[in-house]
Every structure is written in C-alpha cells, then in structure tokens.
Structure 1
Amino acid sequence: FYSYQLTLIIANQIAKAILGRGLMLATNAGLVRVASVLAGPVGWAISGIWAAIDIAGPAYKVTIPCVIHVAMLRKKLNSLCCNNCEA
C-alpha cells in the first residue's frame, strides 16, 4: 500500500511543479490502477522481456573499448616481435 501512496505523492508533486496544481481524484484513481497492473504479472512479463533483450543484446559500453584495447595490444605485440617489419 505504501508504494501506491508514494507513487501518488510523487505524481502529484510533479504535476504541481509543472501544472501549478495537483492531479484530480479521477486521475489519481487511474494512476493507481495503472500502477497496480504494472506491479502485477503484466509488469513481471514486461520486465522479463526487457531483461532478456538486454542480456541477449550486445553490450557496446564494454565491447567497443575491449575491441580498441585488443587492437592496441596486437599493434604493440607486432612492433615488439617484428623489429625489421613495418607494423
């Protein structure tokens, strides 16, 4: 129950900051209904699908720096092993 209260408090404060007034009672009721759906099995399914996509997808934050680092190490190894070659 506290999570619904916290959701309404945050939503009303954001609305008050943007619109200058809080949300109406019907809007609060709709917000609670949406939050309850997203906190239940529908939310679990969405979270599971999202996690599966993130796990299966490429991690560019790690992949690109790693590829650059490996290329630099190969270039350095070639220059050390092959003194008379132009590496």
Structure 2
Amino acid sequence: MYLDQQSPSQHHPQLACPKCGHNSVVQHGNVYVCLSCNFHRNVSEPETASGVFSVIGIAVLIWLIVQVSFYPPASQPSLSPAYPSNIPQQP
C-alpha cells in the first residue's frame, strides 16, 4: 500500500496490530496501517459482519418479547392454610 508522504500520519502506540500484535500502528487519514507487517484497514468502510449480527440480535430480541407477551404470568400459590370442608371445626 502506498501512502502519500505529504499528508500527516499519526502513531497510535496503544493499538496493537490484529495480524502481528506489534504496537506499530499509524493512522493515515481513514486508513490504519501496521508498519511491521503492512496490515491495513480502512475505517471509513462499514464492516458488514457487525451489521449482520445487529440485525440477528434485534430479530432475536423481538422474538423473545413476542414469546413472553403471549404467556400469562404464573399464578402465585396461596400462602393461607387450606381447611378441608369435611373436617369438623372445634368450638
């Protein structure tokens, strides 16, 4: 990849290259380039994988909400003692 020498580059020592792991990543406009292995990524282009995962995640969330809304809440057991009607009461 050829970088224009007239435009400024900015070094990001905290960023590690995802390919080689070295902290030799520089930013040149919208492109991040590793000086060790020449790996580059244009950050102005959207990543399609994250968009697909977002759509799948939203679809699963909507499905869960619809499933939960169709089931009535579980009835709570009564905590009061139950007395059978055929047992005589003591006076």
- Give the TM-score normalised by the residue count of structure 1: 0.35
Structure with greater strand percent:
2
Structure with greater helix percent:
1
Q: Which has the larger radius of gyration?
A: 2
